Amino acid sequence: MDQFYLGTKILIGGGLDTLLAGKQRVLIVSDRFLVDSGKISYVTGGLDRAGAQYKVFSDVQADPDISTVTAGTAMLLDFQPQAVIAFGGGSAIDAAKAILFFSAKQRDMHDVLFAAIPTTSGTGSEVSRFAVITDRVKEVKYPLVDDGLLPDAAVLDPALTVSVPPVVTADTGIDVFTHAVEAFVSTAHTDFSDAAAEKAIKLAYHNLLNAYRSPEDLEARQKMHNASCLAGIAFSNSGLGLNHGMAHALGAHFHIPHGRANGILLPYVMSFNAGCVDGLTPTAKRYAQISRLLRLDSSSVRQSALQLIRTIRSSMEKLGMPSTIRDAGVTQAEFEADVEAMATDALADRCTATNPRPCTKEDIIHIYHRAYAGRLL
């Protein structure tokens, strides 16, 4: 039986004050930069005007880890808020999800409003039932998947992304595209998830470069916010694939930003899934459909799939992103020392379970090697 779930109220362009009306105790989960820069006033300003009590948990760092979640959970259980607001990028939202998830094991959290306000356009975490937590000792990322992780509401305000550095716009934008592509070819895709994925692909393809080159283009920023959200809706229902499994392992071992790791791996994983080297698979037809959607299609399924893969690599060059693991700053010795462990982690990753082409540990090692050296075909 297929199913499609949409439980998040989406406020496009603003609306936080209305959302928080009547809430007198609010916990804000964010990061130190957003607090120190004063951007946190986007949330605290309205709470101050309403005379509400609030606390800010600002210890979130990139790739939130177990100790961060433990500290945030302790603050929540002590403060007993009526609402939890995640304000920031994917790390802040994932941290808030994990804090709520583990708090719910100690008290009833059904009456606590959970709202997410993304300040980057990338993870789609504001509408997904996924979160990723890092174990820094074991160098492993653990995906959490649970309906309880889904926010009650999301605020998509493009003004919050205007000051995002171009490199972050590029990393998070490629993450959007990867989410949508993996959702579209996932073994659990449906007509409904396809619709969200297709729209996200078109929006990202037509607006990412504009948002990167012209940061104050609010129309492009809103379109990328919408693309990120739609991609999140798609993959939250369909699952992801090998690309994310490999990116989680690559990021955990070499501290490469998640979106960048996804972008580096995407052409190589797509080539494997399509069977461009060893014989076309049914997934090649799905990639050819995306090519037609973007008007990139050619005379055959193989060429259409390849045209999409090459276009992704070309787009990454225009965004100033590395196209190989080596270009991301990983030495040959470091890579060879960790590649087998990364393949083991990627194969066990929950995201890999819905990859359209079955794979072995040896397949994954081979893809990592191609992605390191830049051998696409």
**Residue 110 sits in a domain of what CATH number?**
3.40.50.1970
* Counted domains in the chain: 2
Indicate if the pLDDT at residue 128 is higher than 90: no
Residue 4 lies in a domain: no
pLDDT reported for residue 123: 86
Range of the domain at 256: 166-373
Residue 137's pLDDT band (cuts 50, 70, 90): confident
CB-CB contact of 212 with 218 (8 Å): no
Cα(284)–Cα(16) distance, rounded to whole angstroms?
Answer: 43
Residue 271 lies in a domain: yes
Among 112, 134, 161, identify where a domain stops.
Answer: 161
Residues 124 and 236 placed together within one structural domain of the fold: no
Phi, psi of 376 (to 5 degrees): -75, -40
CATH number at residue 215: 1.20.1090.10
Residues 87 and 152 placed together within one structural domain of the fold: yes
Q: Where are the beta strands (DSSP E) in the chain?
A: 9-12, 25-31, 53-60, 83-88, 113-118, 130-135, 140-145, 153-156
Q: Tell me which of 139-153, 168-182, 240-254 is least confident.
A: 139-153
Residue 41 lies in a domain: yes
**Mean pLDDT within 45-49:** 92
* 160-210 per-position pLDDT tens digit: 999 999 999 999 999 999 999 999 999 999 999 999 999 999 999 999 999
Among 138, 161, 184, identify where a domain stops.
Answer: 161
pLDDT reported for residue 119: 94
Residue 3 lies in a domain: no
Residues 154 and 171 placed together within one structural domain of the fold: no
The better pLDDT of the pair 3, 219 is held by 219
Indicate if the pLDDT at residue 1 is higher than 80: no
pLDDT reported for residue 276: 87
Residues 280 and 136 placed together within one structural domain of the fold: no
pLDDT reported for residue 152: 95
Per-position DSSP letters for 64-94, written without gaps between them: -BHHHHHHHHHHHHHH--SEEEEEESHHHHH
Give percent of the chain with pLDDT exceeding 90: 83
Residues 240 and 348 placed together within one structural domain of the fold: yes
pLDDT reported for residue 146: 86
Residues 231 and 271 placed together within one structural domain of the fold: yes
Cα(96)–Cα(367) distance, rounded to whole angstroms?
Answer: 33
Residues 157 and 175 placed together within one structural domain of the fold: no
Residues 154 and 225 placed together within one structural domain of the fold: no
**Mean pLDDT within 336-362:** 97
Residues 88 and 121 placed together within one structural domain of the fold: yes
pLDDT reported for residue 277: 81
Residues 115 and 199 placed together within one structural domain of the fold: no
Residues 347 and 233 placed together within one structural domain of the fold: yes
Residue 333 lies in a domain: yes
pLDDT reported for residue 142: 81
pLDDT reported for residue 376: 83
Residue 346 lies in a domain: yes
Among 142, 161, 180, identify where a domain stops.
Answer: 161
pLDDT reported for residue 132: 85
Residues 190 and 94 placed together within one structural domain of the fold: no
Mean pLDDT of the chain: 94
According to DSSP, the β-strands at 130-135 and 140-145 are antiparallel
Cα(4)–Cα(67) distance, rounded to whole angstroms?
Answer: 34
Find, among 186, 173, 171, the residue nearest to 243 by Cα: 186
Residue 4's pLDDT band (cuts 50, 70, 90): confident
Residue 327 lies in a domain: yes
Residue 99 lies in a domain: yes
